[in-house]
Amino acid sequence: MRTLRATVLSLIVIVVALVAYSYLSGATASRIPRSNPPAVGTTASVEAARERGAEVGEKVAIAAAKVKETAAEAALTSKIKAKMVLDDNIKARAIDVTTDGTIVTLSGTVRSVDEHDRAMRLAQETAGVTQIVDHLRIEVR
């Protein structure tokens, strides 16, 4: 879900950047000449364009910050999952790792208390994790 969100946000940023570039550079998608070309050298149109450009720039900056945050969360999740996959004592497919900022949530079912403790320890030892929310269940046999 986080990867999908990061992909969608990336696409939004790219589209906004392309629209902003197209708008500010005067390029159009069609080659049909305009019937009423804008007046050259008018201060009103220049000021309006600057204001609109500033608004678009702010929106692009906000979107870029969100993409950066989402990418950092996805990287943290990937680091923890990679550690679990490489650990022979953990059944990594049964554990779901989600990240919100620097808070990591572990959920799913583990086979033993030792596996639970090892999964918690791997997440806690990962650089960038400040808190772990434990939603792991121990399988009753």
Q: How far apart are CA 84 and CA 95, in angstroms?
A: 9
pLDDT attached to residue 79: 93
Tell me the pTM: 0.60
Q: Summarize pLDDT for 20-42 with one digit per residue, the tens.
A: 777 777 655 555 555 555 555 55
Q: Summarize pLDDT for 60-119 with one digit per residue, the tens.
A: 989 888 888 888 899 999 999 999 999 998 998 899 999 998 999 999 999 999 999 999
